[in-house]
A and B are shown apart, each in its own frame.
Chain A
Amino acid sequence: MPLPIQGCAAGYKARESHERYRCFAPGYRVVVFYVPVMRTGASKAKIIFGGSIALLFVIAAVVSFFWTPHDVTRLDIANKLKAPGADFWFGTDHFGRDIFSMIMIGARTSIAVAIVAVGIGLLVGVPLGLAAAAFRHSAMDELIMRSNDLVFAFPALLIAIMITAVFGPGAINAIIAIGIFNIPVFARLMRGAALSLWTRDFIMAARVAGKRSLRISIEHILPNTLNLIIVQGTIQFSLGILAEAGLSYVGLGAQPPVPSWGRMLAESQTMISFAPHLALFPGFAILLTVLGLNIFGDGLRDYFDPRLRREGR
């Protein structure tokens, strides 16, 4: 019998869909359709294709520490608003700064913010989810899951706005805001996955062997959920890049002079009618990074679990 999860009446099936649990009446078959054969060839191709796009930006970010085609800290008014060409590949902005170099440096900001934000979500959310599953239906479980619901009521942008209202805008605060938003995502994922593992025989064997809940969680549950964590981590990573861009765009993210893709777009807005290249390239950078990560994540998911149908996020 499936374990009743998070308030579902006994016999009801809980289903995680879009990071929420829903209860379904008995007999309601939740997953009935499997894509019969998800060729691992296709998922490998996705992993390689998406991964290389994402890797390209990681490399650009790393290289930007040593080298960029032009110096972006120097103003070069003589070359301002140059169209893309041989010397300035993506053109220059109103201060004569090279857009290509700025995008390379902007990749650092995006990737750093997204990585740390996912890290916060993982470090806090995963233990919370494990604990909630280990002590299911206890007061602690209830408290953890209810606080998760609460955080879910605040969209990431609202968290960022509140933090900004208190501490002022900045990259660190953007990281905290996106990170807080990630916590319930991982906590719910972990709790759901861990709960189904707790019913399995090998866990029962571990209990019979005298292991305590904490040890079982770390030694047996956690390793068996790594696939899920990696896939969800990729998804949250790409969402983090989008969120960082959005926050910087409205001025709540990285502050000048640190280049960031979102702020480049914000600055380009007043010049879009006569210098559209300023708006095009940073936007494509965001689009490509997120697209690459999403394809990579899709590929990983299919690779880890070929039965899993490709559910649209």
Chain B
Amino acid sequence: MLVTLVVASVIIFVVIEVVPGDPASYMLGLNAAPETVAALRAELGLTESKFSRYLDWTGGMLRGDFGTSYTYRTPVSTMIADRVLISLPLALYALILSTLIAFPAGIVAATRRGSAADVGIMGATQLGVAIPNFWFAMLLVLFFAIQLRWFSAGGFPGWDQGILPGIKSLTLPAVALALPQASILARVMRSSLLDTLGEDFIRSARAKGLTARQTLWRHALRNALIPVLTIIGLQFSFLLAGAIIIENVFFLPGLGRLIFQAITQRDLIVVESVVMLLVFAVVVVTFLVDVGYAIADPRLRSGLQSA
């Protein structure tokens, strides 16, 4: 995991550093005197060697110091902290919604395989996978914000206005983010549960007199959870990345909008740091999923230790 992070940070640094435009001359505009540009370059630390700048950047990140934004001259860490407070709750909200939709849907579809409910749910998930989530978000805005006026079409009031208004303004974005993920998750839940229901121990459980419902809740679900857990872990990274697009639909001031502004303003240190943060989140979540396996399935514990 550490190796991945270090290599990823090198890649991000190298890719971003080969950018043709010089941030200092970009900030000062076309008419700036060469001496001024040189002075600013020195002030931003651009004159140092690439290697020492890389060490500065990564070393700073470890201490929670992400450097100073070229454009706003404020610490990048505070800019990111403000934005994370929107993007992270949004991704978590979507994850919860997707799980809440997918579990019942997958369970119903698996336990009543071949029924009208199963066919309906599978058809709906086929649609859900194919819908571009930003388009679905626009349709939500059209219907719930413009026609019904239940929600605002975009923007974020800030958490200081209270938790409820904040959650309310994140609801439509979270639904839009959750739909495709819920569809995928429901399909995985269904197929995994179908696998488990075919196992011998399910027949044994039924044979010792448990009802179908008891068997499902006590034995089948727990065993079916492992593949589902993998997908939930993977989805978190998709949700974080997807949030970048959805934030644009709803004009939410999250990490996504920050990174797009930073690109247009050549604020490279912000781009670097946000990308690194997202990669970090993905790697950590993947690791947590591995740990989660061991909790869900004791048989895997020895394997995890040897790996």
Contact A291 B126 (CB under 8 A): yes
Shortest CB-to-CB span from B48 to chain A, Å, is 21
A57 within 8 A of B: no
Give every chain B residue within 8 A of A150 (Cβ-Cβ).
4, 7-8, 11
Report the bound CA distance from A249 to B248 in whole Å. Answer: 9
Complex contact A20–B234 (CB within 8 A):
yes
The listed residue (A18, A158, A287) touching B131 by CB distance below 8 A is A287
Cβ of B184: which chain A residues have Cβ within 8 Å of it?
312-313
Q: Is B116 an interface residue (CB 8 A)?
A: no
> Which residues of the partner chain B approach A164 to less than 8 Å between Cβ atoms?
263
Q: Which residues B233-287 have CB closer than 8 A to chain A?
A: 234, 237-238, 240-242, 244-245, 248-249, 259-260, 263, 268, 271, 275, 278-279, 282-283, 286
Q: Are A162 and B134 in contact (CB under 8 A)?
A: no
CA distance A28 to B186 in the complex (A): 23
Min Cβ gap A146→B in Å is 8
The contact of A269 among B19, B230, B249, by CB within 8 Å, is B249
Among the stretches A64-72, A123-131, A271-279, the one at the interface with B is: A271-279
- A246 touching B15, Cβ below 8 Å: no
| Chain B minimum-CB-distance residue to A247 | B245
B126 engages A295 (CB within 8 Å): yes
The reply to whether the CB of A7 lies closer than 8 angstroms to some CB of chain B is: yes
A residues in contact with B226, CB < 8 Å:
22
Q: Which stretch (A29-37, A97-105, A191-199, A226-234) binds chain B?
A: A29-37
Question: Which A4-25 residues have a C-beta within 8 angstroms of B?
Answer: 7-9, 12, 17-18, 20, 22-25
The minimal Cβ–Cβ distance linking B19 to chain A, given in whole angstroms, is: 5
| A279/B230 contact (C-beta < 8 A), A161-B275, A165-B19, A265-B134 known | no
Inter-chain contact B146/A273, CB cutoff 8 Å: yes
Check if A310 is an interface residue, CB within 8 A of chain B.
Answer: yes
**Considering the chains assembled together, what is the distance between the CA atoms of A29 and B139 in angstroms?**
43
Known: A158-B241, A162-B271. 5 other contacts (CB 8 A): A29-B199, A153-B279, A251-B260, A282-B135, A312-B125
Q: Which residues of B contact A201 (CB under 8 A)?
A: none
- Does the CB pair B186–A312 fall under 8 Å? yes
- B81, CB-defined interface residue at 8 Å: no
In the complex, chain B residues 152-206 whose Cβ is within 8 Å of any chain A Cβ: 184, 186-191, 194-195, 197-199
Taking the closest CB of chain A, its distance from the CB of B41, in whole angstroms, is: 19
* Residues of A contacting B131 in the complex (Cβ-Cβ under 8 angstroms): 287
Instruction: Find chain A residues with CB under 8 A from B245 CB.
Output: 157, 246, 249-250
Residue B61 lies at the interface, judged by CB distance under 8 Å to chain A: no
The reply to whether A166 and B18 form a contact with Cβ atoms under 8 Å apart is yes
The 8 closest A-B pairs by CB, nearest first: A312-B187, A33-B198, A155-B241, A25-B299, A283-B135, A290-B130, A291-B130, A157-B241
Given contacts A165-B19, A312-B184, contact A33 B263 (CB under 8 A): no
Q: Contact flags (1/0) for B137-152 with A, using CB distance below 8 Å? A: 0110110001000000
| A20 in complex: contacting residue of B12, B230, B248, CB < 8 Å | B230
Using Cβ atoms and an 8 Å threshold, which residues of chain A touch B197?
A: 33
B303 near A279: Cβ-Cβ < 8 Å: no
> Are A18's CB and B249's CB within 8 A?
no
> Is A309 interfacial (CB-CB < 8 Å)?
yes
Q: How far is the CA of A17 from the CA of B12 in the complex (A)?
A: 28
- Measured between beta carbons, the chain A residues less than 8 angstroms from B271 are 161-162, 165
**Contact partner, B138, options A156, A161, A283, Cβ 8 Å:** A283
Q: Please determine whether A165 and B187 come into contact, CB atoms closer than 8 angstroms.
A: no
Q: Which of B97-134 contact A (CB under 8 A)?
A: 125-127, 129-132, 134
Q: CA–CA, A20 to B18, complex, Å?
A: 32
B191 and A153: CB pair below 8 A?
no
Residue of B nearest to A309 (CB): B191
The verdict on A3 contacting chain B, using a C-beta distance below 8 Å, is no
Once bound together, how far apart are the Cα atoms of A251 and B283, in whole Å? 27
CA distance A27 to B135 in the complex (A): 45
Q: Using CB atoms, name the residue of chain A closest to B7.
A: A150
Q: A32-B199, A157-B245, A272-B141 are in contact. Are A165 and B230 (CB under 8 A)?
A: no
Asked if A32 meets B132 with Cβ closer than 8 Å, knowing A272-B141, A279-B142, the reply is: no
* B306 adjacent to A9 (CB under 8 Å): yes
CB contacts (< 8 Å) of A246 on chain B: these are: 132, 134, 245
